[in-house]
Amino acid sequence: MVGLAVAVAAIGAVSGAVSALGGGGGVSARPQVTRSPTLAPLPAVPSPTPTRASRTPRPAPTTAPSLAPQPSASPSKPAQAVSAALYTSPDSQVLDWIRNHPDDPRRPLIERRIADRPAAVWFTEYDPDKITGEVRQVTSAAADEGRTPVLVPYTIPGRDCGGASRGGAPDLAAYDGWIRNFSAGLGRSPVIVILEPDAIAQSDCLSDSDRTARFTSLAGAGRSIHAADPSARVYFDAGHSAWRDAEEMATLLRAAGAATSGDGIFTNVSNFNTTADEVAYARRVLAALGGPARLGAVIDTSRNGRGAPPDGQWCDPAGRSLGRAPTTDTGQERIDAYLWVKTPGEWDGCRGAAGTFSPEYAYDLAR
């Protein structure tokens, strides 16, 4: 994701972002909607660790973290239990590596600590004719298992302000169509949507008129998703605790329709800030945002087990570790879930090509 103005982080940051689904990207456009239905609560969270079905791995995009200075933090031991309510996709780069390296001594730890845990599925390619089917493939499989998938549409025009994750739809009209097609693949079961990482927090590179137009499309995207799937929960980009002031972030979120077209906010995607810092920040943003009391927050805890490096390094920093396991049972008021939005082990773009999986990096995070 990006940090103060410099764009590189948005989830899925890749030197040519890799699609979460096999050869292509993901999902088609979202339908335009005029209402935002009442959402059902997230499913209950059982404690058993989920088993993994046979899979055909597909590369999942990564994002580069923010360039904003990061506060140092004390180490925090990752939680051990994984929510059985969240869906573990059979398609990912880490699973590709595990299948292809059965004798690698690092394999058991990487499989147990990373591959077996639920992570988000990214849709990074502008493929309006394919996106509906790609989304449906994920949501149908999750529904069959009675679990909730986490989906990341990441195709906003001008993505990452032309940084490492540049790309996206050719223009906002095309994006609006793509998101409608994306929504058409959701079905009617619970799903968590992380809507366009960095699209709001990293909007300084846009003119006032272009920012207004983007925010209009994001609000429409939230309505489209809800119209297609009333059980969906849509979270809007709130950056992270070391980036923008909470009141400033809330002003941007309000302009983008987060309080009226969404179910809350997400923070810390592809970043390293501690869960405690992000919980406090998310609550400040929600308080400043206003809107319905049902609005909550989800936090990316995939790599924040030791917090951010004291030197502010944001790109593939050494000495980091896995954070809290993905779960919808946070025990925290207004914190709806801890999620692994960025798959641990995928480079940010400094020590390796952005979005590519590294067993060395994964093993270091998992130890």
pLDDT, residue 50, reads: 30
In angstroms, the CA 100 to CA 19 distance is 20
Residue 333 confidence (pLDDT) above 60? yes
Q: Which of 7-11, 179-183, 190-194, 199-203 has the lowest mean pLDDT?
A: 7-11
User: Average of pLDDT values for 58-73?
Assistant: 35
User: Which of 91, 237, 336, 348 is an active site residue?
Assistant: 348
pLDDT of amino acid 227: 98
Give the active site residue among 91, 127, 160, 229.
160
**Confidence check: pLDDT of 361 > 90:** yes
Looking at per-residue pLDDT, the higher value among 151 and 49 belongs to 151
What confidence category does residue 166 fall into, taking pLDDT thresholds of 50, 70 and 90? confident
Per-residue confidence band for 300, with pLDDT thresholds at 50, 70 and 90? very high
Q: Is residue 123 helix, strand or coil?
A: strand
Q: Rounded to the nearest 10 degrees, what angle do helices 246-255 and 275-289 cross at?
A: 50
Q: In the predicted model, what is the mean pLDDT of residues 61-65? A: 37
Q: Which amino acid is at 114?
A: I
Tell me the whole-structure pTM to 2 decimals.
0.80
Which residue among the candidates 91, 96, 198, 263 is catalytic per the annotation?
A: 198
Residue with tokens 């846009």: 206
Tens digit of each residue's pLDDT (9 = 90 or more) over 25-37: 332 222 222 222 3
pLDDT at 13 over 90: no
Partner residues linked to 152 by β-bridges: 122
Lowest mean pLDDT segment, chosen from 54-58, 102-106, 282-286: 54-58
Q: Catalytic site residue 237?
A: no
| Token couple for 269 | 């995607």
* Alpha carbons 241 and 308: distance in angstroms, whole number: 11
Q: Which amino acid is at 123?
A: F
CA pair distance 341, 363, nearest whole angstrom: 18
**For all residues of the chain together, what is the average pLDDT?**
82
The pLDDT assigned to 84 comes to: 53
Q: What is the pLDDT of residue 33?
A: 26
**336 belongs to the catalytic site:** no
The confidence band for 354, taking pLDDT boundaries of 50, 70 and 90, is confident
Which pLDDT does position 336 carry in this prediction? 97
SS3 86: strand
Angle between helices 208-228 and 172-184 (to 10 degrees): 20
Rounded to whole angstroms, how far apart are CA atoms 38 and 29?
22
Average pLDDT over every residue of 95-102: 96
pLDDT band at 54 (very low <50, low <70, confident <90, very high): very low
- Tell me which residue of 271, 338, 356, 339 sits closest to 62, measured CA to CA: 356
Long-range contacts of 96-104 (CB under 8 A, 24+ apart): 96/57, 96/58, 96/59, 96/357, 97/357, 97/359, 99/57, 101/359, 104/359
The two tokens of residue 115 are 């591959």
Check whether 168 has a pLDDT greater than 50. Answer: yes
Taking 70 as the threshold, does the pLDDT of residue 20 lie above it?
no
Per DSSP, 311 falls in state T
Is the pLDDT at 2 greater than 80? The verdict is no
Cα separation, 187 vs 169, whole angstroms: 23
Helix (H/G/I), strand (E/B), else coil: 29: strand
User: Given this model, what pLDDT does residue 48 score?
Assistant: 30
Is 160 considered catalytic here?
A: yes
Average pLDDT over residues 252-264: 98
Q: Tokens 């879930």 identify what position? A: 337
What band does 353 get if pLDDT is binned at 50, 70 and 90?
Answer: confident
More confidently predicted of 75 and 249: 249
In this structure, are residues 82 and 119 in contact, taking their beta carbons and an 8 Å threshold? no
Return contacts of 46-53, CB within 8 angstroms, 24+ apart.
46/83, 46/84, 46/85, 47/81, 47/84, 48/84, 49/81, 49/82, 49/84, 49/116, 50/82, 50/84, 50/86, 50/88, 50/116, 50/118, 50/147, 52/88, 52/90, 52/115, 52/116, 53/90, 53/145
Give the pLDDT score at 44.
38
